[in-house]
Chain A
């Protein structure tokens, strides 16, 4: 906080920020703490120190299968959302379509609609039109809710690029495809990359659609954790959760490198 703030307020501010940070981080710290506990029971602060629950997780078929399905779906979602969302963002950014504004609203709408409403619709529609839910169904639904993020990050990057680049490329003899590939797509790259990481994170962590569209052979990691929590939680849940937190930290680090976290957070 800068000059000209009353002294007492300064102190209140520091306490406030510290408390808020504590509330925000407390559940994560607790999960990490429980995961290294030696005890049979979930307890915080942990009793003793061991990695036995990590061993447990790594030898559990239920967790490993769920993780494998989650990774496959998340990668597919990342690919689809980035390609489809990036292309759409370019079309929206150019504003040459008569319904550009509507298009932007359409692509951002999955962000506004509560996921649970969409999840019921997807479940009902898919099973009545295409039959049983498959991993592809889940991947498509995750792509739909990840698209707005890719569109937004890409639009944000395009908005900052020189608006005359495409015209300049035309005067230099670049045809339609050359302009797209050599001029526009490279401009999008930081936005596409950030969007891709978001898409992966959304799909990998998503619980609502995954719960509605779950099946005996279609259980993602968050669904597996949810089931454990509902019935018989033991510290192995904490170990899996800690692994997911670690993955998130890595993603945040990469996004910060790609795009600058502060800039992204206030975009």
Chain B
């Protein structure tokens, strides 16, 4: 268990700069997610913490010790790879013992005890003599997890470890990761492109965009108070509607490009050109009620819910509704939203 401090980390490959000065303080025992789409630099950043990628500029400290130029084998970390990287010629227990053996931690008996305990933690004690290729994807994943925690590393690094699992297994593993983190309290850095995964697992989310920190905060803050249009679109894939905000007798109103007007929360302070972030699940659709006029383009049946794609002021707009709502393509409908749920982002 240790804290991690990144100071103004920069990274360039050849002439392209992929990280533009990232600073982060990660507290001891914190579970932090690096969230972003592919190519945002999140994996590069994680690999730099591991020591697998050199640092172009900036510093990395683990446990208040500068490790910037230390090779990975001397950093006392553990990393779980997307492909799991299990050694195919070694059995499950030999794989889990590998870090202890390489680091010379304890006697053979002590190592075996630790291996047994780690395998118990991931409920794989009964498969310890199997070879990795004889295991299912989910089981391989657990072995990789056991191998990562067995040496009690200062920092646990997880590189999209759940992305190769099917939806059901992924949910199980999320629960397991939370429980193991609660039990062992390891400082954990988790890289993912899946916002739900980040929201459900982390103490803190760092949203990365094009090599910069877009926003960081607790899952609640990131979800409910996205600071930028990128953040609100990435988290919860909100609709972004360009507007102009002016004052009216009833308080601030947003004028859409086609002249329609939407009332905002009376306390809204932003004026002028702005972007509204409208969450898909916050929109209420009705055939002839009050609200903005939109035209239905397509309905997508999702089982429990429907998704409607509409046209509002010339922009596509998506809404999630109950599955009993039935509109025809091309139908004019009314669109309402609670002003308190509207997030206004200044341009």
A203 vs B289: C-alpha distance in the bound complex, in angstroms? 89
A212 CB within 8 Å of chain B: no
Q: Which residues of A contact B50 (CB under 8 A)?
A: 167, 171
1/0 per residue B96-115: CB within 8 Å of A? 00110011000000000000
At the interface with chain A, which of B80-88, B170-178, B244-252?
B80-88
The answer to whether A186 touches B151 (Cβ under 8 A) is: no
B78 CB within 8 Å of chain A: yes
Nearest Cβ in chain A — how far from B80, in angstroms? 9
Q: Which residues of A (154-175) have their CB < 8 Å from a CB of B?
A: 161-162, 164-165, 167-175
The answer to whether B88 touches A167 (Cβ under 8 A) is: no
Partner of A171 from the list B78, B83, B86 (CB cut-off 8 Å) is B78
The answer to whether B81 touches A168 (Cβ under 8 A) is: yes
The answer to whether A167 touches B87 (Cβ under 8 A) is: no
Nearest Cβ in chain A — how far from B74, in angstroms? 8
B71 CB within 8 Å of chain A: yes
A167-B98 contact, Cβ under 8 Å, with A172-B151, A175-B73: no
The answer to whether A170 touches B85 (Cβ under 8 A) is: no
The answer to whether B87 touches A165 (Cβ under 8 A) is: yes
Nearest Cβ in chain B — how far from A95, in angstroms? 16
B51 CB within 8 Å of chain A: yes
A183-B73 contact, Cβ under 8 Å, with A171-B50, A171-B157, A172-B78: no
Of all chain B residues, the one with the shortest Cβ separation from A170 is B72
The answer to whether A162 touches B85 (Cβ under 8 A) is: yes
The answer to whether A178 touches B72 (Cβ under 8 A) is: no
Number of A-B contacts (CB under 8 A): 66
Nearest Cβ in chain B — how far from A166, in angstroms? 9
A170-B52 contact, Cβ under 8 Å, with A161-B88, A175-B73, A187-B88: yes
A118 CB within 8 Å of chain B: no
A186 vs B74: C-alpha distance in the bound complex, in angstroms? 24
A171 vs B72: C-alpha distance in the bound complex, in angstroms? 5
Q: Which residues of A contact B83 (CB under 8 A)?
A: 162, 164
Q: Which residues of A contact B85 (CB under 8 A)?
A: 162, 164-165, 167-168
Of all chain B residues, the one with the shortest Cβ separation from A163 is B83
A171 vs B46: C-alpha distance in the bound complex, in angstroms? 12
A189 CB within 8 Å of chain B: yes
Of all chain A residues, the one with the shortest Cβ separation from B74 is A173
Q: Which residues of A contact B78 (CB under 8 A)?
A: 171-172
Nearest Cβ in chain A — how far from B99, in angstroms? 4
B79 CB within 8 Å of chain A: yes
A183 vs B81: C-alpha distance in the bound complex, in angstroms? 16
Q: Which residues of A (61-110) have their CB < 8 Å from a CB of B?
A: none
The answer to whether B157 touches A173 (Cβ under 8 A) is: no
Q: Which residues of A contact B99 (CB under 8 A)?
A: 172-173
27 contacting pairs across A/B (C-beta < 8 A): A161-B88, A164-B81, A165-B87, A167-B50, A167-B72, A167-B81, A167-B85, A169-B98, A170-B71, A170-B73, A171-B52, A171-B72, A171-B73, A171-B75, A171-B77, A171-B79, A172-B73, A172-B102, A172-B103, A172-B151, A173-B76, A173-B102, A174-B73, A186-B87, A186-B89, A187-B89, A189-B89
18 other contacts beyond A170-B52, A172-B151, with CB at 8 A cut-off? A162-B86, A164-B81, A164-B85, A167-B50, A167-B81, A170-B51, A170-B73, A171-B52, A171-B72, A171-B78, A171-B157, A172-B103, A173-B76, A173-B103, A174-B98, A178-B102, A186-B87, A187-B89
Q: Name the 7 nearest CB pairs between A and B, nearest first.
A: A168-B85, A172-B99, A173-B103, A170-B72, A171-B79, A174-B102, A173-B102
